[in-house]
A and B are shown apart, each in its own frame.
Chain A
């Protein structure tokens, strides 16, 4: 079965960087695009961007451009999200999620369990 397993919680100081990982299993990694979505405490869902499992192409939402970098390691089927220059309002649960189909269905059919990132001085 498809699984997306994320790394554990992180606590960072303002201005620092964080890396969150998402290890995929149960499907062919290169056939799908992975995305990142975050949820601040008590808030809704915010889309961050996507990365292709086949060629590593990326696209980021405007709010995150310049601060986020997404990468993959196809040998292990793992995606990474790096977020730099952290601020207190980056405190959130970060989810990885898989696009059902990049062209015909850019909705999220499988989700990771989420990674709590806390930014605090």
Chain B
């Protein structure tokens, strides 16, 4: 199943809100996760079940959506949040990831 993320790159100033989108080729219910990846590191889990924050993830990260349309919002960007973000569906085999959104400093 194709997962499409937009935009590919998002330029945001520190303290501003960032809104990332993920679209599924067919309904995945709420079986969607978000990951953050910094250069040279493995991805790390942010959100699962579309809107549940993983352990230790700050409240400025929030997920929403169901079916085919999902959103990751970072309410007030901090320097450590500039990274690439991936969505992943786990409703249907094979598991698939979106192409990623790079959040860069404006």
Contacts and interface: CB of A to CB of B under 8 A. Distances in A.
Interface of A: 35, 44-47, 59, 61-62, 95, 97, 100, 105-109, 111-114
Contacts of A59: 93
B1 to A, nearest CB: 11
A19 B100 CA distance: 28
A108 B35 contact: yes
B95 A106 contact: yes
B83 interface: no
Nearest to A60: B94
Contact of B90 (A45, A95, A107, A111): A107
Contacts of A46: 97
Contacts of A47: 94-97
B42 A105 contact: no
Nearest to A35: B95
19 contacts: A44-B99, A44-B100, A45-B43, A45-B86, A45-B88, A46-B97, A47-B96, A59-B93, A95-B43, A97-B42, A100-B48, A105-B49, A106-B95, A107-B45, A108-B33, A108-B35, A108-B45, A111-B43, A113-B42
A47 B88 CA distance: 10
Contacts of B41: 113
Contact of B86 (A44, A95, A109, A114): A44
